[in-house]
Structure 1
Amino acid sequence: MPIETTEVLVVGAGQAGIAMSEHLHSHGIRHIVLERGRTAERWRSCRWDSLVANGPAWHDRFPGLDFAENGPDDFVPKDKVADYLHAYAEKIHAPIRCGVTVTQVRRNAGQAGFTVDTSDGPMTANYVVAATGPFQVPVIPPIVPAEPGIMQIHSADYKNPAQLPEGNVLVIGSGSSGAQIAEELMRSGRKVYLAVGPHDRPPRSYRGRDFVWWLGVLNKWDAEATPGVEHTTIAVSGAGGGHTVDFRRLAADGMTLLGRAEACHDGVMTFAPDLAENLARGDANYLSLLDEADAYVARNGLALPEEPSARDLLPDPACVREPILRMDLKKAGITSIIWATGFGVDYGWLQVDALDAHGRPRHQRGVSSEPGVYFLGLPWQTRRGSSFIWGVWHDAGYVADHIAKQRGYLTYEPAPQGLR
């Protein structure tokens, strides 16, 4: 039986793989997209039930399609985002094959291209695009040993408050996921402890414009990655119609804030004495964006309403003034720990020279160190906006252009000497 051959093999049919397919199609490049689950599977099964997109519908979308059932300023529920991506894939006739797992990619010996082992059998491709995204392997730091009576899960496995046993909850991680899950649990009637690490805290909106608009006009979405910046934790929420994440407000409503989680011995957990500092740095980030926004309004003479109350900060609550540095988990009634501590990557199937010693992609704007292999969907792949649906669409255009240029070089044939 002949081995199936394609010019470009795209691995993953989330927002990155779909965007890649559209740009490859515009270049007339034959390709196949393989997906081990369903189209946009991670939006469907690896998010909590109430999650909504962190950007409004007018902004966080592909250029060629609006959300059919949501207004432009809505924060779209996760299942509707998945439906949107599926509809877009159908609109562009993306050649997606679901339920197919890629197990290995290796360079062909002595000839161009790659051999790809899949659950449907081997294939060959001239180019391979790893579009599996950043949310591959949930990371749980080895801090808390397995404790009888304490459930530990990653935010990727959290669905809703009813999933957890009765009792108090410790959420570790203060990015968008941790802040939103902690608030949902508190609103459901749980006593919640939240470990807050260093973070950025932009306003959800200011002077009648969402923060995504401000980052656009202030040219911050196009900021390029610098060492360390790609790991910045950002606390922002689209839940409940969108609101600014205010950790002091959460404390005033009954949540107990803690510093960064450090260690746990004999059921006693210790926390760094950095809570006040982390909140102050988040405030500085917040106020800095307001300053830049005010300057932009004045410079351009915009008639946007002033919002002086946006600069009013609540006083530090007791848990900040007198931080808890040691906590006996059982005495505190903790029966669940949710780790909102991010993800690692797993490119074990990519048996080519495209990864560093830690298994992370070695690339420049998605073009890897292994000729013919590309990455797509990485945070800060080319710019700050790379993590968004619209951002990955632009990144995919760059990768597709690079593939098209390489094809052009490889198809070049010099004219016969007599015709030069």
Structure 2
Amino acid sequence: MNYDVIVIGGGQAGLAMAYALKEKKKTLILDENEQTGDSWKKRYDSLRLFTPRKYSELFDFTFRGDPKGFPHKDEVVSYLQEFETRNQLSVLHNQQVIKLSKENDQMFRVFTQNQTFTVKNVVVATGAFHDPFIPDIHDRSIPYMIHASAYKNPAQIPKGDVLIVGAGNTGIQIAAELSKTHTVMLAKSKPIKSIPQRFAGKSLFWWLETFRISKARSFSMVGKMLQKKDPIIGDDYKIVKDQVEMLGRVRQVIDGQVHVQNTPPKKVTSIIWATGYRNNYSWIDINGVIDVHGKPIHRYGITDVKGLYFIGQSWQSKRSSALIYGVSDDAEMIAREIL
């Protein structure tokens, strides 16, 4: 079958994109996972969204359960699978795209391991970050080291002192959970700011929507300020402050010891690197799309290459772009451009 648009990536961003186009264009999603929602299924066991169900919806597709409650990751998996099925979206699973090229001014070539597609429009929905990143400051002398993406639950972590490197939302959530079973230290590179999930009986996201903070554009003055000072959301930081030893920036891990800024060396049994991810767009073989830092060159997801778009980028157009409910607006924006 011939398609008008191919969407690369079948997470919430890819599904939202296909939904926004489905009435006007024949759209196919290529997804490297075995099932829709697998990227959520692989994350740590206790994960819950910090957005309530009401603010975790694609378009007007209702999230089952208490609208004010915070869904578990397994609920997100079920929600995305139901969204795909109910809206009859076309998805091919186990299709990792290994190369994207443009053979002339009109058509793209999309190569997977066993198929090649020729199409006029391509939307890259593989997400802002793909490859787990661990800084090259260690000599592997600590008995147990993993990236946060490999963390599932406290049972997998050996007994003894645990150091978590990185104090973003993921590092804080893992530290809070492990503090119940282990002696935990948390290394941070900058001061931590946190805000609760509810104010005056209302969800944080109700306030962000009401005062249009979630709509702040990435290039606006407010948007630039928020990108510099993104806070930790939720109550986990309260647990961490009481139960976890806070350390400064990790300078080096060598000979079984962790050398930390302004602190004597520490001996630990385990390290969890909550140090984020890096972009991987090495498979895009098109000039002028990826900058020297490995980031897509776009404005609101629209590139200078005719027919090529991105969706699911952090701060793609506004504060809420990287959240499930925020990606719907970006999908509609790109759909209008394609149409």
TM-score, normalised relative to structure 2:
0.93
Residue 131 (structure 2) aligns with: 137
Partner amino acid, structure 2, of 1:14: G
Deviation for aligned residue 1:107:
0.5
Residue 54 (structure 2) aligns with: 58
Structure 2: which 5+ runs fail to align? none
Deviation for aligned residue 1:402:
0.6
Task: Pick from 113, 118, 121 the counterpart of residue 119 of structure 1.
Answer: 113
Structure 1: which 5+ runs fail to align? 238-242, 274-324, 405-420
Q: Separation in 1 of the partners of 2:322 and 2:150?
A: 21
Deviation for aligned residue 1:218:
2.0
Q: Separation in 2 of the partners of 1:231 and 1:400?
A: 30
Work out the percentage of aligned pairs sharing the same amino acid.
Answer: 32
Partner amino acid, structure 2, of 1:167: G
Contact 1:205 1:244 (C-alpha < 8 Å) held by counterparts: no
Residue 209 (structure 2) aligns with: 216
Residue 11 (structure 2) aligns with: 14
Q: Secondary structure at the match of 2:251?
A: strand
Deviation for aligned residue 1:214:
1.6
Residue 347 (structure 1) aligns with: 281
Deviation for aligned residue 1:23:
0.5
Contact 1:105 1:350 (C-alpha < 8 Å) held by counterparts: yes
For residues 297-316 of structure 1, what are the structure 2 equivalents within 5 Å? none
Q: Separation in 1 of the partners of 2:173 and 2:19?
A: 33
Could you list the runs of 4 or more consecutive aligned residues of structure 1 that deviate by over 6 angstroms after TM superposition? none
Residue 311 (structure 2) aligns with: 376
Residue 190 (structure 1) aligns with: 182
Residue 365 (structure 1) aligns with: 300
Deviation for aligned residue 1:367:
0.5
Provide, for residues 52-73 of structure 1, a one-character-per-residue CA deviation record: whole Å limited to 9, x for no partner.
11101111112322222x2111
Q: Separation in 1 of the partners of 2:160 and 2:127?
A: 35
Provide, for residues 228-281 of structure 1, a one-character-per-residue CA deviation record: whole Å limited to 9, x for no partner.
8546553123xxxxx3633xx5343x31111222233443333335xxxxxxxx
Q: Separation in 2 of the partners of 1:99 and 1:32?
A: 14
Q: Secondary structure at the match of 1:387?
A: coil
Which has the higher mean CA deviation after the structures are superposed, 203-212 or 89-98?
203-212
Deviation for aligned residue 1:396:
0.7
Q: Secondary structure at the match of 1:58?
A: helix
Residue 163 (structure 2) aligns with: 170
Q: Secondary structure at the match of 1:262?
A: strand
Partner amino acid, structure 2, of 1:369: D
Contact 1:176 1:236 (C-alpha < 8 Å) held by counterparts: yes
Contact 1:263 1:271 (C-alpha < 8 Å) held by counterparts: yes
Provide, for residues 315-347 of structure 1, a one-character-per-residue CA deviation record: whole Å limited to 9, x for no partner.
xxxxxxxxxx12232xxxx11111111111111
Deviation for aligned residue 1:117:
1.0
Task: Pick from 242, 245, 269 the counterpart of residue 335 of structure 1.
Answer: 269
Q: Secondary structure at the match of 2:326?
A: helix
Larger Rg: 1
1:32 matched to 2:28? The reply is yes
Higher helix content, 1 or 2: 1
Partner amino acid, structure 2, of 1:250: V
Provide, for residues 359-416 of structure 1, a one-character-per-residue CA deviation record: whole Å limited to 9, x for no partner.
2100000001322111000000000000111101111111111111xxxxxxxxxxxx
Task: Pick from 243, 247, 264 the counterpart of residue 253 of structure 2.
Answer: 264
Deviation for aligned residue 1:203:
2.0
Q: Secondary structure at the match of 1:105?
A: strand
Q: Separation in 2 of the partners of 1:218 and 1:265?
A: 48
Q: Secondary structure at the match of 2:206?
A: helix
Partner amino acid, structure 2, of 1:156: S
Contact 1:202 1:244 (C-alpha < 8 Å) held by counterparts: no
Deviation for aligned residue 1:183:
0.7
Residue 73 (structure 1) aligns with: 68
Q: Secondary structure at the match of 1:215?
A: helix
Partner amino acid, structure 2, of 1:347: Y
Contact 1:356 1:362 (C-alpha < 8 Å) held by counterparts: yes
Kindly report the root-mean-square deviation, in angstroms, between the aligned alpha carbons of the 2 structures.
1.8
1:397 matched to 2:335? The reply is no
Provide, for residues 199-250 of structure 1, a one-character-per-residue CA deviation record: whole Å limited to 9, x for no partner.
441222121112111212222101122568546553123xxxxx3633xx53
Residue 264 (structure 2) aligns with: 326
Structure 1 pair 77–343 and aligned structure 2 pair: CA distance change class (3 A): same
